[in-house]
Amino acid sequence: MPDSQRMFANADGSRHLLGLQGMHPTRIEPFLDLAESYVLLNRQRKTQRDLLRGRTLINLFFEDSTRTRTSFELAGKRLGADVINMTVSTSSVNKGETLLDTAATLNAMRTDLLVVRHAQSGAPALLAQKVEASVINAGDGTHEHPTQALLDALTIRRRCGSLAGLVVAICGDVAHSRVARSNIHLLTAMGSRVRVIGPPTLIPAEIERLGVEVFHDMDQGLDGVDVIMMLRLQRERMTGGLVPSAREYFRFFGLDAARLARAKPGALVMHPGPMNRGVEIDSQVADHPEQSVIQEQVEMGVAVRMAVLDRLSRGQDRTDR
Amino acid sequence: MPDSQRMFANADGSRHLLGLQGMHPTRIEPFLDLAESYVLLNRQRKTQRDLLRGRTLINLFFEDSTRTRTSFELAGKRLGADVINMTVSTSSVNKGETLLDTAATLNAMRTDLLVVRHAQSGAPALLAQKVEASVINAGDGTHEHPTQALLDALTIRRRCGSLAGLVVAICGDVAHSRVARSNIHLLTAMGSRVRVIGPPTLIPAEIERLGVEVFHDMDQGLDGVDVIMMLRLQRERMTGGLVPSAREYFRFFGLDAARLARAKPGALVMHPGPMNRGVEIDSQVADHPEQSVIQEQVEMGVAVRMAVLDRLSRGQDRTDR
Amino acid sequence: MPDSQRMFANADGSRHLLGLQGMHPTRIEPFLDLAESYVLLNRQRKTQRDLLRGRTLINLFFEDSTRTRTSFELAGKRLGADVINMTVSTSSVNKGETLLDTAATLNAMRTDLLVVRHAQSGAPALLAQKVEASVINAGDGTHEHPTQALLDALTIRRRCGSLAGLVVAICGDVAHSRVARSNIHLLTAMGSRVRVIGPPTLIPAEIERLGVEVFHDMDQGLDGVDVIMMLRLQRERMTGGLVPSAREYFRFFGLDAARLARAKPGALVMHPGPMNRGVEIDSQVADHPEQSVIQEQVEMGVAVRMAVLDRLSRGQDRTDR
């Protein structure tokens, strides 16, 4: 494997969670199974503080994200870890070097679990090569956001029983979405059939290689699907010329009740949040009492992150430590 | 009650603390009595971590306020809660929708206690309609700041024995002050006589309806009062044309030793902080060894917030949960 | 002692740690000895939470510093303290007054340990006069940064056995460096011989009075030294005209392998971080497997801060409380 690829890889048996590409279902399922038990624990408003007592979890966020950071912070605290937030501006120069120095600093501080979000694809993998901590990728550039895909999978599995055989449509700005990439890897591994839907400017070339079907027409793409995953449209895309306007975008690629009706009756509506209501999704659909599982996704997020922290810290998942 | 009013109401028996308007003394006093016990606990440098162990308290601040956030954070930690700070920029658009999505997120994360500060009046009440957590208003627009009024009341009660029959002057920018409004509601309910003093531009029209007496002359207004509450003059007021200049303002509405002498001997001097020394208050008065209780207010703040978290979380105060 | 000096002094037996100037070796060594035990504790990934349980540690940072703040936060949490971060912008006016009001607030909140970083020399000492908490200076202006010098001393002592008799070169922007000043005070007290090396614009006049030798030539200054402490070159120095350019600076005062060879074989290379690689230090030297102890410095930082919090909170070091 060339070095450039290794940076993005998440070899089986790794003590890190850097991405889901190439991960076998037998490694994915234990995360989901364990997360189930944490859903129960959280609903009973119980905690399990002995699990990570004395361990140090650092939330190293080079991009600000209140939701994801809070979700990991809650997960860590409910398992008893010492949680430290480090929000770092990347406005400084020499980023590459600084990242390695940051890794050395984190080692010297005896960090056990390191949650990293970074604007550059591969940054968590680079850190993982240098730190003694278990690294969890909380989103890197346009690469991966594995805990998001795991929480999405858990949400679907709880509703549909299994991922195998389902048809899942991922809609919107697939080209810039790490959420889309992680979901494609996980869903195809678990036996779902994945469609991506969006304007040609927002669908990456040759994405079919990942085993997905491409649609540029929303009505066609949604035809008969079991699950609709909407992606957030970053405002930069609109000002950057890739999308004509929010109004135009919604007209062609927004999800409203009429479009939802194209999917299988009872199809699930998902969104990683925060939503741009009226841009990629209509409020009526976002708040659909039976079909929208958007709030459930947030709940599964905390449970999945507890499961990930649990497994990685237990050492059950470590071979190179 | 029309819906627009309900948003700002704090019905008796609520599991939330959104405001003090219309709150009966029999609901106010238990907060003060319980806070007394926390004053003692804090002075003994003890904690009571079992009380909120396993509960999640989120400090959701849409306006930054280091003092108030720290006071709630301390209160929560001393009672054993997991405290998570979420400071959210409101520069983004579609605030109304985002607030409801935020509520959904907080529910999904199993938040037990939600402390909210927001630039818009009514935002905490809106959240309270949507979240399962107990909501504590930490200041919303020009509406209310109930824990500030409770801590002020506790400070006065400890010094004067009772609030009934006292004459209290609230001085300065009453029009824009949520501190003033919460204090007016609480003090009049507890039997104090309240005067408001300030330039006509900073006193709201028809404020007499709340049962207060209006003065535009500081010397007259302070005549014989038991308690002087100074308000912070926001610098925007000076640049906004409502006040000619800091110097002029101080000359007519600042509190110095000469003006303090107009009040009853030994009258209390209060300020919610942070002070603009030389603008609304002279340092000699602010630091008066017997009459200034400004530092005591901060101490009472932590105790009152512990009492509020305690009562709301105990469920003793909940009818609609 | 005149008042202006007292502000910067750290009298023996103080309950604070404001600076190292004039501190006797018999007061320095206990910090280092205690820190040794915390190095061990951290390496075993153990904690000692009973020590500061129920105590409140406030990190009051008027200048942002992720590394130092994190190091104190870790230290406090591993000893069981409630740690609260207060990052305060100093863009507001009336700083002096605000600082005293801040002190009053911290007292009212029952702060036990106060870690302060401030752009103005003497600010922690001013706070120490007003607060009941033990104050730890985490860097004030160009004055002192005592925990940095303690961690540097611990790093050297562990490698060299003792500080006495060693020749230590401090290189770079000595004029603006609180790290340099604290190190000069500590090292000379412990019997090291200290050289300072830098361009005349960055070496303060009359620094020889502190008992150091001045060199403006890097090769001469490094000749035969046991330890090389590089200082970070703030970018402001380059734009401010004190240094011609990063390239020029590195040519005359940067540390590379050739220059390192002038020092004693096996001489230690130190840097307080974060490094400007290629400006004051070459990567080959910074990452030298045997001679660079830069990562060790970070590790010692957490241990030293645990020792400082421990000693100051135990009251073993307090005479005026």
CA dist C286 and C296 (Å) reads: 12
> What pLDDT sits at residue C243?
82
Q: Confidence band (pLDDT; 50, 70, 90) for A9?
A: very low
Does A316 have pLDDT greater than 50? no
**Average pLDDT in the C140-149 region?**
97
Largest CA distance in chain B: 56
- Hey, are the CB atoms on C299 and A55 less than 8 Å from each other? no
Query: Residues B15, B55, B69, B145: which is the catalytic one?
Result: B145
Nearest to C105 among B45, B47, B67 (CB): B67
CA distance B104 to chain A (A): 6
Using CB atoms, which chains have 3+ pairs under 8 A with A? B, C
> What pLDDT sits at residue A40?
97
Q: Confidence band (pLDDT; 50, 70, 90) for B13?
A: low
All residues of chain B having their beta carbon less than 8 Å from the beta carbon of residue C98 are 274
**Average pLDDT in the C177-185 region?**
98
All residues of chain C having their beta carbon less than 8 Å from the beta carbon of residue A98 are 274
Of C12 and B180, which is predicted with more confidence? Answer: B180
Contact A298/B at CB under 8 A: yes
**Average pLDDT in the B106-129 region?**
95
Does B74 have pLDDT greater than 90? yes
Does A92 have pLDDT greater than 80? no
> What pLDDT sits at residue B64?
82
CA dist C55 and C81 (Å) reads: 5
Do the Cβ atoms of C300 and C41 come closer than 8 Å?
Answer: no
Using CB atoms, which chains have 3+ pairs under 8 A with B? A, C
> What pLDDT sits at residue C90?
58
Contact B209/C at CB under 8 A: no
A72-86 pLDDT, tens digit each: 999 999 999 999 999
| C234 marked as binding residue | no
Q: Is there a catalytic annotation at residue B117? A: yes
B209-226 pLDDT, tens digit each: 999 999 999 999 999 999
Helices (H), chain A: 3-6, 25-43, 66-78, 95-108, 123-130, 146-160, 178-189, 218-222, 235-239, 246-253, 257-260, 283-286, 294-314
> What pLDDT sits at residue C255?
98
CA dist A231 and A251 (Å) reads: 15
Residues contacting B3, CB < 8 A, separation 6+: none
Domain B3-145+299-316 fold: Rossmann fold (3.40.50)
- Give the residue range(s) of CATH 3.40.50.1370 domains in chain B: 3-145+299-316, 146-297
- Hey, are the CB atoms on C274 and A98 less than 8 Å from each other? yes
ipTM: 0.89
> What pLDDT sits at residue C13?
54
Query: What pairing do the DSSP bridges indicate for beta strands B167-171 and B193-197?
Result: parallel
Q: Is there a catalytic annotation at residue B95? A: yes
CATH number for the domain running over B146-297: 3.40.50.1370
DSSP symbol at B39: H
**Average pLDDT in the C54-68 region?**
92
Q: Confidence band (pLDDT; 50, 70, 90) for C315?
A: low
Contact B56/A at CB under 8 A: yes
C227-286 pLDDT, tens digit each: 999 999 987 776 777 888 888 899 999 999 999 999 999 999 999 999 999 999 999 999
**Average pLDDT in the A210-237 region?**
94
Does A259 have pLDDT greater than 80? yes
> What pLDDT sits at residue C2?
40
Would you call B303 exposed, middle or buried from its count of C-beta atoms within 10 A (0-12, 13-18, 19+)?
buried
**Average pLDDT in the B180-204 region?**
97
Interface test with C, best of A82, A91, A95, A99 (most C CBs within 10 A): A82
> What pLDDT sits at residue A93?
42
Q: Confidence band (pLDDT; 50, 70, 90) for A315?
A: low
Q: Confidence band (pLDDT; 50, 70, 90) for B94?
A: very low
B288-311 pLDDT, tens digit each: 999 999 999 999 999 999 999 999
Q: Confidence band (pLDDT; 50, 70, 90) for A177?
A: very high
All residues of chain C having their beta carbon less than 8 Å from the beta carbon of residue B47 are 54
CA distances B14 to A27, B19, B51, B189, C4, Å, are 47, 11, 20, 18, 56
